Structure 1
Amino acid sequence: MSLLNGGMAAIFGAAFGGLYPNGVLHRDGTGPIYDDEGNIVGYDGGGDVPIKVQRDACTYAMRQSEGYADGDVMLIILTSGLAHMPTTDSQVTDGNGDRWMVASVDRDAANSHYVCRGRKA
Structure 2
Amino acid sequence: MLSDVFASAAVAVSGAFGGPYHAGKVHTVSETTYDAGGSILTPGQPVERDCMVQVDAVTEAMRQAEGFTERDVRLLVIGLAGDLDTDALVEVLPGATAPADHVGLWSIQSVSRDSLGVYRECRGRRG
Normalising by the smaller structure, the TM-score range is 0.7 to 0.9
Counterpart of 2:89, as a letter, is: Q
On the 8 A contact 1:30/1:46 being kept in 2, the answer is no
**TM-score normalised to structure 1 length:** 0.75
The match for 1:23 is: 24
RMSD between superposed Cα atoms in Å? 1.9
Counterpart of 1:114, as a letter, is: R
The match for 2:99 is: none
Aligned partner of residue 103 in structure 2, secondary structure? coil
- 1:83 and 1:51 mapped to 2: Cα distance? 8
Counterpart of 1:119, as a letter, is: R
Q: Which has the higher contact order (CA 8 A, sep 6+)?
A: 1
Superposed, which structure 2 residues align to 1:1-121 within 5 Å?
7-18=1-12, 19=14, 20-30=21-31, 45-78=45-78, 80=79, 82-95=80-93, 96-121=102-127
Counterpart of 2:29, as a letter, is: D
Note the residue ranges of structure 1 that are not aligned, 5 or more in a row: 1-6, 32-43
* 1:113 Cα offset (Å): 0.5
- 2:50 and 2:68 mapped to 1: Cα distance? 27
* 1:45 Cα offset (Å): 5.0
* 1:70 Cα offset (Å): 1.3
- 1:24 and 1:97 mapped to 2: Cα distance? 11
* 1:46 Cα offset (Å): 4.8
- 1:98 and 1:59 mapped to 2: Cα distance? 21
Aligned partner of residue 106 in structure 2, secondary structure? strand
Q: How many residues align?
A: 101
Percent identity reads 33
- 1:85 and 1:22 mapped to 2: Cα distance? 18
**TM-score normalised to structure 2 length:** 0.72
On the 8 A contact 2:75/2:123 being kept in 1, the answer is yes
Over alpha carbons, which structure has the higher Rg?
2
